[in-house]
Structure 1
Amino acid sequence: MSRLARPLRVALALAAAALTMRASGSDVASLRGDLRAHDPSSIVKQGERYYLFSTGWGMRTKHSDDLVSWSEGAPVFARDAAPPWTRQVAPGIRGHYWAPDVVRHGDRYRLYYSVSRFGKQTSAIGLAESASLDTGWEDRGVVIQSRAGDPYNAIDPSVLIASDGRHWMAFGSFWDGVHLTELDPATGRRRDASYEPRRIASAKEIEAPTLLERDGWHYLFVNHGLCCRGVDSTYRVLVGRSERVEGPYLDKEGRPLTEGGGAPFLASEAPRIGPGHIAPLADSQGDRFAFHYYDGDDRGRSKLALARWRWSSDGWPAATNVQLASPDVNRPSPTR
């Protein structure tokens, strides 16, 4: 080997490693493609393709065949086809939707999404249905709405189809915290609109709940802190668990999430700033989840990330094998 060849091979090896070791020191493939995302939904597989949805005009869609390379799909709603009720709930939004979640029920998909004015309670969670994840979405109207003076803000839905067949939706942002309501499996809407949603978590700065069921436990992930400030965002993810989906949810120290408790789950670790909106992969393995973060190496732009669950012997989750954007993926990304 020549004196020049060896340094060249070393340089090439280091460059290759940079593409696969950009997350928590793990040998995992960095994500590639169109990674513009904020508030990702659960990842759902249809055929051999994975789909997720996120905040944006018309509601952004993404798809991947390998969970590494991602492409942008057509938005759920065309700009001139916003459901009429959205303008009544939040005048002036003009087709900008937040923080969706998607579940499969039978042979159809249900997509829950938020309509709101930033920092206000003039909000609602809507529902759309389709037989396919990439086309044909039909709006089903309002699931729950909030107005000034209500104890909750009706955004950030997370839907759980529990092992007993019951359907639940956690939601909420700031105000009196995260709330829970039961859904009717037949319609995807509230089972009893007269039932006051139950508060299951509260803190000064809280939003973005995620429900997860595993081995007899129900887990509630929430974000504390502030989003949408690029590298100045203070988002972090905490978790509690309960034997009942209705709660009470407690952290490792036994502190109720309704009193500001929560075990640390995911926090800033440069260049990953302000991680948020935990979104499980809904397939037979269920070993991964998505989230967004603000890229400290790319002017704080919001991007998609994936990670794997690691479970302790006593049933508490941690994140491992975190996959961030490849260093050469530097594209503009929207925030709320």
Structure 2
Amino acid sequence: MSFTASARYLVSATVVAVVPSLIAACVAAPAAVANPVISSVAPDPSLVRGADGAFHVYATSDDWGDGAGARLLPHFRSFDLVEWEYVGDAVPASPAWAPPGSFLWSPDVHISGAGAVMYYSTGGDKPCIGRATAPGIEGPWTHDDAPVVCHGDYRGELLDPMDPEVVFTDSGPVMLMGNFEGIHAVPMNTAGTALDGDPVRIAGTGVEAPAVVARDGYTHLFTSAGLCCDGEASQYRVLAGRAEALMGPYATRTGDPLLDRLAGDVILQGNDDWVGPGHVDVATDDAGQDWMIYHAAPRGSAVMPNGLQRRYMMLDRLSWETVPGTEGTWPVVGGGTPTTDRAADPVVTLPVRLTAVGDVSLRPGGGSNDGSSNDDGDVLDLSVRVDSTGFAYSGELSATITGPGKQRLPLQFVVDSKEGGAGLGVGSVPVSVSSGGSLTPSFALRSAARLAPGRYELVVSIGQGAVSAGVPAAQELAVFGLEVAGDGSLSLGSGALGSAPLGSL
């Protein structure tokens, strides 16, 4: 089966129920997509871009309230910074050295010469900062045998080992840390496995979640102040200051030192639509424009039924502007509050664009037009749009589904049999689009087993080259959010695990 611009494969289906597609991804000139960009619970996001051009986010562990239990440092992936898929949890369990029941949060992820490295916080009476490594940004991750540092264990210093941010300098890595007891910067050993130098306090008490960005000859320090998870009353907000060197001293636009309590220029705070924006990271698109990612909760629905803060991942433009009476530039995030609709989206160069189209229908048990069915899994009928970004493109479509079990499982493309049954299945199908062309193939996807009730994220990916285990290297993806009801039909108003917008999660 091959899709081309002049031929469209159609699968006839008995419509049981339909779910509106929740993604309106864009093609040549993307229109703005409403915040949030990840409407699962994705607090404290850390972002890095892989060698294949994909953006990866790791977030704080949390229970999304969807019946799947806690996610441990959940991992998301996107090719355009707007449409995200949930890949899975980074780790299956906390490190062996951590006390039982320890949560992991505030990951800080980097690509290194040896692969990838992640720093994170653990809780309890004696919080620690841990470290994990992986062959690449996609994982799998392995915890170190011992923590980097725990509370009270470093030279007797009153360090607060929370919310790590590691900066790799020419003279070696430096760890920034702190959570309402002041932000400290501490040199590390060459391997980045332990602290190895004198701590320097660079910001005062009452702030947490340090993040640094070098621009225009200055190092800019972002922190977050207030309580992140105080429901509708949360006053969490983003503060900023800058210095001529990583170790400070940092000051505000008016010259006030960041060593003062709660000091910093307020660059992002809540509004009528969003509660408690904070804990930021920064991405740069292919046009050189910076974008701030952070978490925030929707006003009026800030708390989930399980009592946890509903912290979605947001994306807004980060600009650098001059201020009279000062040199260099200073950070500005839109109008100083989260947006619901951005004026524009990031510019990302992609070989092709893939967009979820229309509705999805379900044939429980693979039911066909004649009413027959089997027990080999359910069949989902859907469409995507494939658009050229300027050149002819040929690649492979593949699909996966992730549900209550948190495992990302492959789906098979159904090749309709002449007898009208569910047909044979293949792991991927070729697709070609001419220069400047567009096509909208419709197809059927079959799961290996019947879909249990719950929320699902269905991802169709497109990539070039050889197919490995039925899944090619994706260069673009489209995301559908589904919810299977107890009677085996699809119900309305659900959303993707990773992407926005979401109805009721």
User: What's the TM-score bracket when you normalise by the shorter of the two chains?
Assistant: 0.7 to 0.9
* 1:284-326 per-position Cα deviation (integer Å, ceiling 9, x unaligned): 7461121001111534421000122111123100113956599
Cα contact 1:212–1:219 (8 A) shared by 2: yes
Q: Is the 8 A contact 1:110 1:127 kept in 2?
A: yes
| Residue of structure 1 equivalent to 2:139 | 135
Q: Could you tell me how far 1:184 is from its partner in structure 2? A: 3.2
Aligned residue runs from structure 1 range 83-162, under 5 A: 83-87=95-99, 91-93=100-102, 96-117=103-124, 120=125, 122-140=126-144, 141-147=146-152, 151-162=158-169
User: What SS does the aligned partner of 1:84 have?
Assistant: coil
**CA distance change for structure 1 residues 129 and 297 in 2, over 3 Å: closer, same or farther?**
same
Do the aligned residues in 2 keep the contact of 1:53 with 1:59 (CA within 8 Å)? Answer: yes
Deviations 1:39-76 (A, max 9, x none): 11133334132111111132111111221111212211
- Give the Cα–Cα distance (whole angstroms) in 1 for the partners of residues 119 and 232 of structure 2: 29
- Give the secondary structure class of the aligned counterpart of 2:97: helix
Q: Distance in 2 between matches of 1:66 and 1:108?
A: 23
List runs of 5+ in structure 2 lacking aligned partners. Answer: 1-23, 26-30, 62-70, 304-309, 323-327, 342-498
Q: Match for residue 295 of structure 1? A: 298
Tell me, yes or no, if the aligned pair for 2:209 and 2:224 is still in contact at 8 Å. Answer: yes
Kindly indicate whether the alpha-carbon contact (under 8 Å) linking 1:298 and 1:330 is maintained by their aligned counterparts in 2. Answer: no
Deviation string for 1:207-265 (max 9, x for gaps)?
Answer: 11111112221111111111112222111111111001111110111111111321111
Q: Does 1:267 align with 2:269?
A: yes
Shift of 1:134: 2.1
Mapped partners of 1:330, 1:145: distance in 2: 40
Per the alignment, residue 234 of structure 2 pairs with 233
**CA-CA distance at 1:188 after TM superposition:** 1.8
Q: Deviations over 1:267-294 (max 9, x none)?
A: 1122121111111126774611210011
* Matching of residues 1-336 of structure 1 within 5 Å: 28-30=32-34, 31-32=36-37, 34-56=39-61, 57-79=71-93, 82-87=94-99, 91-93=100-102, 96-117=103-124, 120=125, 122-140=126-144, 141-147=146-152, 151-162=158-169, 164=170, 166-175=172-181, 177-185=182-190, 187-190=191-194, 192=196, 195-203=197-205, 205-260=206-261, 261-281=263-283, 285=288, 287-300=290-303, 301-313=310-322, 314-320=328-334, 324=340, 328-332=501-505
Deviation at 1:154, TM superposition (A): 0.5
Distance 1:330 1:209, change over 3 A: farther
Distance, in Å, in 1 between the alignment partners of 2:101 and 2:114 is 35
Q: What runs of 5+ residues in structure 1 fail to find an aligned partner?
A: 1-18, 21-26
- The answer to whether the 8 Å contact 2:211/2:281 transfers is yes
Give TM-score, length-normalised by structure 2: 0.54
8 Å CA contact retained: 1:274, 1:293: yes
In 2, Cα distance between the equivalents of 1:286 and 1:190?
34
Letter of the 1:40 counterpart: P
Greater Rg over alpha carbons, structure: 2
Aligned-residue offset at 1:147: 3.7
- 3-state DSSP class of the match of 1:231? helix
Q: Distance in 1 between matches of 2:39 and 2:279?
A: 18
Shift of 1:166: 3.5
Percent sequence identity over aligned pairs: 29
Give me the whole-angstrom Cα distance separating, in 2, the residues matched to 1:76 and 1:59: 5
Distance, in Å, in 1 between the alignment partners of 2:232 and 2:129 is 29
Structure 2 CA distance for aligned equivalents of residues 276 and 250 of structure 1 = 20
Does the CA-based 8 Å contact 1:43-1:282 persist in structure 2? no
Over 3 Å counting, the alpha-carbon distance change for 1:145 and 1:273 in structure 2 is same
Distance of 2:265 and 2:294 partners within structure 1:
18
Q: Do the aligned residues in 2 keep the contact of 1:114 with 1:124 (CA within 8 Å)? A: yes
8 Å Cα contact 1:211-1:218 kept in structure 2? yes
Give 1:32 deviation, angstroms. 4.7
Contact 1:174/1:206, CA 8 A, preserved across alignment: yes
Q: Quick one: which amino acid aligns to residue 60 of structure 1?
A: P
Q: Which amino acid aligns with 1:131?
A: P
Deviation readout 1:124-164 (Å, 9 max, x if unpaired): 111111122222212223122114995232010112224x4
Task: Provide closer, same or farther for how the CA distance between residues 324 and 129 of structure 1 changes in structure 2, counting only shifts above 3 A.
Answer: farther
Query: Which amino acid is 1:139 matched to?
Result: H
What is the CA–CA distance in structure 2 between the aligned matches of 1:267 and 1:98, rounded to whole Å? 22
- CA-to-partner distance for each residue in 1:71-114, whole Å, 9 max, x for gaps? 212211113xx311112xxx432xx2111111122251111111
* TM-score, structure 1 as length reference: 0.79
1:182 & 1:308 partners in 2: Cα distance?
31
**Aligned positions, number:** 292
**Contact 1:172/1:208 (CA < 8 Å) preserved in 2?**
yes
| Local SS of the residue matching 1:85 | coil
